[in-house]
Structure 1
Amino acid sequence: MVNLFVAFQYRLRRFVPVCLGILVIGAGTLVYGQGSLGIDPSRKRRVPQPLLEEEPFKPVPGTVLPPIPKPIPEEREEEKLPLIRIYVREINVTGSTVFSPEEIAELVTPYENRELTNEDIEALRMDLTLLYVKNGYVNSGAVIPDQSVADGVIRFNIIEGKLTRIEVKGNRWFREGYIRKRLALGSGRSLNMNSLQKSLRLLEQDPRIERLNAELVPGLRAGEGFLKVGVKDTFPLSVGTVFNNYQASSIGSKRVTTTVSHQNLLGLGDTLGLSYGTSEGLKRGINGWYTIPITARDTTLTLQYRRDDSDVVQEPFNQLDIKTESDIYHLSLRHPLYRTAHNEFALSITGELLQNETYLRHDPFSFSAGEKRGKSNITALRFTQEWTNRTQNQVFAVRSRFSVGINAFGATDNRHDSSGNDVADGQFFSWLGQFQWARRFKYRNIQTLLRTDIQLANEQLLPLEQMSVGGRYSVRGYRENLMVRDNVIIASFETRIPIVRDKRWADYVDLVPFVDYGKAWFGRAWNSKPHTPDPKAIASVGIGVRWAVTLPKPIEIRPQFELFWGHQLNNVETSPDHDLQDDGIHFQFSMNLF
């Protein structure tokens, strides 16, 4: 029996955790695009919105934590220990929960059933410690407890490091718990710097966090870590006004919309927003929403309500006193199944109740097949899958959505229509697929954007579920909502060529040549019945210009302007009531505060 305590006590009993220095993380401001929900007050309902924001290329965080520093050898001379040799039959390693017994055995087996010196035993201890450190467990390692070697058995003990405390300072709008819970996801049962780094990068991507500083220091006991986090969050109130001609000319194409939102109402990362829009025919366009994360993994609950009241003002139909009233109630739950700084895959389930009423000279009147005395109701369940891949110079975004109309909450039911015809009602099945790709090239920072939207239905749809083709976000150069049908295919390609960058009077000026195409038809996706009138497909080529500038004082104001002109490749007849859209012109001016 050999007592190892004397030989190893001064350098093998102690476990010194790895300590990191201060980590400074710069969080860029990100703007996430959000497609609008619901309907256009002209009764031509859904316009596919882009998946990507107007500025798709945002800074992607790199490695947040610095590399682990190499140990600095002590300058003092250590006392030379006598060389001890013992025969080791078996090595027991306890306390390891991270690695499997097979992984531990790969390191231990070469040291068993042979004679070892104290230097060999120290080398094995270092190998076990490095197994943890190289895999990100920087404050974990192996120690040799006080023991007497009996029957050739040596015992090693693994101390797996933990993050025992997270301290958050500097946060003004976020609650400490919001940040602490998200960082705790990266610590786990045993502290892994790779996982913690991932949590820091994800938190950095939140546009409401301007700057994030982190410092990891040793705790009071071996293997304990203490994380200090400094946060500078942004002012959460946002006010913006938009003026454009992106609305159907039947209710007045020129529209003004003002939006007020609070991006951190309760300090929980929740958003409350309200927008109000008006045009010549749109008497009242109200959209209110509230979104709140309900778990630390950002499972998000969204409530939304939209109300549109409009009158047809397009000649000669304005003499008929046609009015439309619509309401949309929206409830959705979204959960990201997989998320990193570069990739996200999320699922969401949505319930929507859509109601629409139309009037002719103050009396209910049906303008579309399937409506009953001017009324149509839809109760829809939607299941959405989303995947986004984002790098410094490229973004892919894919969305798939399945919609099912159910006979509940007063949904329109025409299954027993006396005419015997196949009439649209609230029971349907449809699929919407969207794909977008954006690429930034080194040459002059030119950007290209490709977008496709496809909706396919199993039968005729009520107007609330149909999609439109024509206008700014589908085929430029034509009137908004030129074709509103059950099945739609849209493709668009544009190139953004920088003309001016980073001037006092302009953050950017881009020249934007584009090509757009759209096709739409009625009935089942695989059947042309009922007959679809011309045009069935339209296309355009054109050019646009985009401009924006940021005025930081006394408060940050960001005016933006875009102008597109499209040349019609298919001539279509339009109303005698001329509109700027008939000349292929689409414009928008917006101003955001804060």
Structure 2
Amino acid sequence: MTDKYFQKHGVFWLQLSVFVLLGSMTLRPAKAQIVNTAQIPDGKLILSQQLPPPQDVLPPVPSPHPSPQPPQPLPPPEELFPSPSPSPTPEQPVPEKLPETIVVEKFEVVGSTVFSPEELAQATAEFTKRPISLAEVFQARSRITDLYVKKGYITSGAYIPPQTIQSGVIKIQVVEGRLEEIQVTGTQRLNPNYVRSRLAIATEAPLNRERLLEALQLLQLNPLIRNLSAELSAGSRPGVSVLQVEVREANSFSTQIVLDNGRSPSVGSFRRRLQLNQANLLGLGDAFNFAYTNTDGSNALDASYTLPLNPYNGALTFNFGTTSSNVIERPFNVLDIESSSRYYELTFRQPIIQTPTQEFALGLTASRRESEATYIKGDRLPFPSLGADEQGRTRISALRFFQEWTARNSRQVIALRSQFNLGIGALDATINEDAPDSRFFAWQGQAQWARLLAPETLLLLRVNTQLASRSLLPLEQLGLGGIDSIRGYRQDYLLTDNGAFASAEVQIPILRLPQIDSILQVAPFFDFGVAWNSSGRENPDPNTLASVGLGLRWTQGDRFTARLDWGIPLVSVESRGNTWQENGLYFSVIYNPF
């Protein structure tokens, strides 16, 4: 039923593409550009040309966050939660001796926490100030019950308790429905309390169907759960119910193999990556991710662990990564330039607003980044890098406050991200007399929009910007050029303190093979970016890049994706042209074996 619903609304390709799109939402630090002349200790000139800029020497800090899985489509609400029968209210005692009519001055409604006295009085107003029959008395009671049911309080109701009528006042007692128990079945590795706690916050008394349905939909979107269904049954007494939830877990273990040419040619542009993900390591909904990335001149390890902290999906994440590189690009390979970097991040992220169609979250990251670079085999001299100390090292301690907002429906996804970065001098961070050092302030903003124009035809718009108050260390600068930004140029061709980037792309299907669940799309694109420095530092020339191009994208289910892009630069720059990347050709192959 879920697959039919998915295909019916044409959301699959939107969400699958947005999976790739949103995976780039993490703000990626880059390296600055600096030029120096290399000499050996005896003053004998090694090269008459410039050394490679630090962005080709210092390893980049990779994105520590795994790409989010595409949200699963929701089945119709009646499949998640069929409408239950209202809970029975206590039987109504009918007095044996009662006049045919009675004049009621007012109905006194007792036990309501949802509606104001004015709303309750208005519901029963037509039955007051006139003679009414016994049947109309019970109709007045039913109006109160209907008031609750129409607002989604399907297990709440009203009844008339035994009483002596005085001064024309009849008391109506309200029983507001509540849950007696949440029974979770079908879980295997996942702790049932993970599901129970997320439903409990939506089922506080009085029980409301819409709140419960929204909580079930959020759980259905959770990548740990393949599908679920819920049913309400009568509890041990009137007004209480038992919620029975049957869960079918999704496979929490996955692997991914990625091949692309997205690294700098200085360390080998051909990149291989193997990633292992366990989304439910200890049964708490905690996730562990490990990745190994390799090029001909570099090796990198990345690991992260995420622990849920509350039923509102607040989570604590620790990220760690280390990279070592060796410049293999001629003619700089004779210098035997080696570099390494590490990063440590502790992040708390808390959704503030969370519904099936939108999410707003706040987060704070405590970050530490370190790098060092040396050159000349045997002597191991510190590589002259912007802001580095006499040993070629840079150390950055920073606090990063971010805000994220995502809205989605069956036709589009909009994602906005803002991040304020405050560098501090703590923990032996790099401190220099003049900028750059670990003391800085910068803002990064991103916006992405994916719009389904027709079945399997997708419009993708991206904007990325960074503004800095002063000159930044290489690990904090913004890069333009390459597979993830302006195609047609070398990876991180421009690296500066400030910059802005925009991209537009349309993915159009040209071949469908439903028998193997495959599709071939053509993707024309336009990329544009501008970069500049702070603190009076000279801007690169040119400082603007632009390109147009065409891509081919092949997908086979959710297991295999391959893409080839050809970017044509519109602004001429110097290029060695030794690699596919420098000739505007980019490829990526993503395979998910499990």
Distance in 1 (CA, whole Å) between partners of 2:182 and 2:85 is 23
Q: Residue 408 of structure 1 corresponds to which residue in structure 2?
A: 426
Match of residue 97, structure 1, among 95, 113, 120: 113
Q: Residue 261 of structure 1 corresponds to which residue in structure 2?
A: 277
Q: Which amino acid aligns with 2:312?
A: R
Q: Which amino acid aligns with 2:397?
A: T
Structure 1 pair 211–357 and aligned structure 2 pair: CA distance change class (3 A): same
The answer to whether structure 1 residue 392 and structure 2 residue 393 are counterparts is: no
SS at match of 2:573: coil
Structure 1 pair 395–493 and aligned structure 2 pair: CA distance change class (3 A): same
SS at match of 2:237: coil
Structure 1 pair 501–101 and aligned structure 2 pair: CA distance change class (3 A): farther
The answer to whether structure 1 residue 372 and structure 2 residue 389 are counterparts is: yes
Kept after mapping to 1: 8 A contact 2:81/2:231: no
The answer to whether structure 1 residue 454 and structure 2 residue 465 are counterparts is: yes
Q: Which amino acid aligns with 2:366?
A: G
Question: Percent of counterpart pairs with the same letter?
Answer: 36
Kept after mapping to 1: 8 A contact 2:145/2:157: yes
Q: Residue 325 of structure 1 corresponds to which residue in structure 2?
A: 340
The answer to whether structure 1 residue 297 and structure 2 residue 312 are counterparts is: yes
Q: Residue 508 of structure 1 corresponds to which residue in structure 2?
A: 519
Q: Which amino acid aligns with 1:569?
A: L
SS at match of 2:476: coil
> How many pairs align?
546
Distance in 2 (CA, whole Å) between partners of 1:459 and 1:354 is 19
How far off is 1:501 after superposition? 3.2
Match of residue 149, structure 1, among 146, 165, 185: 165
How far off is 1:342 after superposition? 0.5
Structure 1 pair 26–226 and aligned structure 2 pair: CA distance change class (3 A): farther
Kept after mapping to 1: 8 A contact 2:346/2:367: yes
Deviations 1:95-125 (A, max 9, x none): 1112222222222444344333212211110
Distance in 1 (CA, whole Å) between partners of 2:105 and 2:29 is 77
Q: Which amino acid aligns with 1:303?
A: F
SS at match of 1:222: coil
Aligned residue runs from structure 1 range 7-22, under 5 A: none
Q: State the Cα RMSD in Å.
A: 2.8
Structure 1 pair 42–144 and aligned structure 2 pair: CA distance change class (3 A): farther
Q: Residue 360 of structure 2 corresponds to which residue in structure 1?
A: 345
Q: Residue 286 of structure 2 corresponds to which residue in structure 1?
A: 270
Q: Residue 250 of structure 1 corresponds to which residue in structure 2?
A: 266
Kept after mapping to 1: 8 A contact 2:86/2:155: no
How far off is 1:291 after superposition? 0.7
Q: Residue 437 of structure 2 corresponds to which residue in structure 1?
A: 425
Kept after mapping to 2: 8 A contact 1:84/1:118: yes
Structure 1 pair 275–49 and aligned structure 2 pair: CA distance change class (3 A): closer
Structure 1 pair 434–389 and aligned structure 2 pair: CA distance change class (3 A): same
Structure 1 pair 184–175 and aligned structure 2 pair: CA distance change class (3 A): same
Match of residue 175, structure 2, among 159, 175, 182: 159
Q: Which amino acid aligns with 1:155?
A: K
How far off is 1:51 after superposition? 12
Q: Which amino acid aligns with 1:479?
A: R
SS at match of 2:475: coil
The answer to whether structure 1 residue 484 and structure 2 residue 495 are counterparts is: yes
Q: Structure 2 length as normaliser, TM-score?
A: 0.86
Match of residue 101, structure 2, among 78, 85, 94: 85
Kept after mapping to 2: 8 A contact 1:496/1:512: yes
Match of residue 544, structure 1, among 542, 551, 569: 551
Structure 1 pair 192–70 and aligned structure 2 pair: CA distance change class (3 A): closer
Comparing 215-224 and 83-92, the one that deviates more: 83-92
How far off is 1:499 after superposition? 1.9
How far off is 1:364 after superposition? 4.6
Kept after mapping to 1: 8 A contact 2:423/2:439: yes
Q: Which amino acid aligns with 1:335?
A: Q
How far off is 1:26 after superposition? 9.6
SS at match of 2:334: helix
The answer to whether structure 1 residue 182 and structure 2 residue 198 are counterparts is: yes
SS at match of 1:441: strand
Distance in 2 (CA, whole Å) between partners of 1:253 and 1:430 is 29
SS at match of 1:464: helix
Kept after mapping to 1: 8 A contact 2:71/2:222: no
Kept after mapping to 2: 8 A contact 1:242/1:256: yes
Distance in 2 (CA, whole Å) between partners of 1:229 and 1:269 is 18
Kept after mapping to 2: 8 A contact 1:510/1:545: yes
Kept after mapping to 2: 8 A contact 1:47/1:468: no
How far off is 1:85 after superposition? 1.3
Kept after mapping to 2: 8 A contact 1:87/1:115: yes
How far off is 1:189 after superposition? 1.8
SS at match of 1:359: strand
Distance in 2 (CA, whole Å) between partners of 1:130 and 1:123 is 10
Distance in 1 (CA, whole Å) between partners of 2:246 and 2:264 is 49
Q: Residue 447 of structure 2 corresponds to which residue in structure 1?
A: 435
Deviations 1:124-180 (A, max 9, x none): 101000010000000101001111212322111000001111111111121100001
Distance in 2 (CA, whole Å) between partners of 1:146 and 1:82 is 13
Aligned residue runs from structure 1 range 559-574, under 5 A: 559-574=560-575
Deviations 1:435-466 (A, max 9, x none): 00111023x53110000000000010000100
